[in-house]
Structure 1
Amino acid sequence: MKNILIPTTVENDILAAVKTAVKYTTGTNCSIVLMMLQKIPNTYSASQFLRETTPSCTPAQNSLLNQCREVVTQTGNCRLLIHHQCGMSAPLLKNLMDHLGTDLVILTRSYKEEKNNLHTTCRQLLLNSKYPILHLGDESEEYNFNKALYLEYPKVDLGIHEVQKLINEQFSFKIVSQAKIEESIDEMVPHIAETISKNNIDILIEARRTAKKSGRKEQSVNHNLGLPLLSVHAETVT
């Protein structure tokens, strides 16, 4: 794993996201990019534009960012970058991801709960991208991934071995069980929770496809179960 993008509004769970990113860089040189979005100012004045786009953080946010820097500095193989992005669109995101050489996106729970249109647009664009996305769960510290449960959706014809092969490129955990999702995911939560308990599952896996229409519905299964969810794009599995 080389480069990791974490869109953020700098809430408390950003520290767990950075610690998790560091843990799974596998000793290779890595850039962890914290992307902070802001709207494009509605002005023709250059000075006004600069004033409105000048980054500002609260003391609590600055403290969190400093803690993130300390965590990354201690690794010796990673660097932390803070990217301030004005506006968001599909071309902007694609160019940014290509420029950064992004290998993984991490979404924190707080970021997924953001209601601002700028952040919801960013999340929808990411869900329609082909990059692997790690949706974090409820823990406040870094995550240890060992045993995975593969959620197999009917419209995504991929077996465990195909998905495991892709996962092996970036992670060391193994898929030890699977659940075929043939009805509403909410209705299956009790059965999935039982499987998780029996097999000591600590991460969920899904394969997704790009939605034909914009505004792809965001998955909530890891919110219901409290576990991280690694979402890989089906077209990247060979």
Structure 2
Amino acid sequence: MGATNGGHPAATAKAPALDLRAFLLHVAWLSILLGLTMEVILLVLAAAFGEGTTARSFAVKLVQQIAWSFFVCTGLAVGLAVAKTGIPAGKFTGFFIAPAAFAVARTLHKSVAQALAIASAVPATPSPFLLAAVKGIEYGILGLAIARIQKWEHGRISHYVATGFLVGLVFGGFVLVLILQTAEGMSAIDLFTRGVNELVFPVGCSVVVYAAEALGRRAAR
């Protein structure tokens, strides 16, 4: 029966075990780095279109972005790692962690804004409960898709990137439609940067999951 595999013993070899401690460390700093990178990209894009920002305003947005990135990407990665241990419910983590991460990031945004005495007047936006629900569905589906990729024998980073892009395209487009229906005071630049964030972030989060697990397995060798 071994000959049916073309003499390739690697075809039945198991992937290296995951060093849990190394995995958690990597997913934590990678998710924080993702949040920082995304906010810098948005700052550069806004500046390129002539819209400046103050240091305090940037600090408020950075706290929100890092908090969101840390909780949603770490939660997603940990859930997927748990699913591999024989607990299938782990791959559904995105449905629950994303709304929680959204609420935490929003709360921190308000708290830091108040601490820095930044005006709280902002354009009308869709209901935060509706946005949280959309995020839950978005990252729940992303988690299920990544869990599927992880079962492939030749799953590559390009598959993670493509999956994150498609999810971001669909749900990011939906969020922008919701914003356009309610955010009458939002400028074109704000809409553009929001669109970039909604599209690119799921890609980044997918790469964080891939990289954290790859580094965790390397540490276990």
User: Which structure has the highest strand share of the two?
Assistant: 1
Q: TM-score, normalised by structure 1?
A: 0.23
Q: Determine which structure has greater relative contact order: mean sequence separation of CA pairs < 8 Å that are 6+ residues apart, divided by chain length.
A: 2
Q: TM-score, normalised by structure 2?
A: 0.25
- Structure showing greater radius of gyration is 2
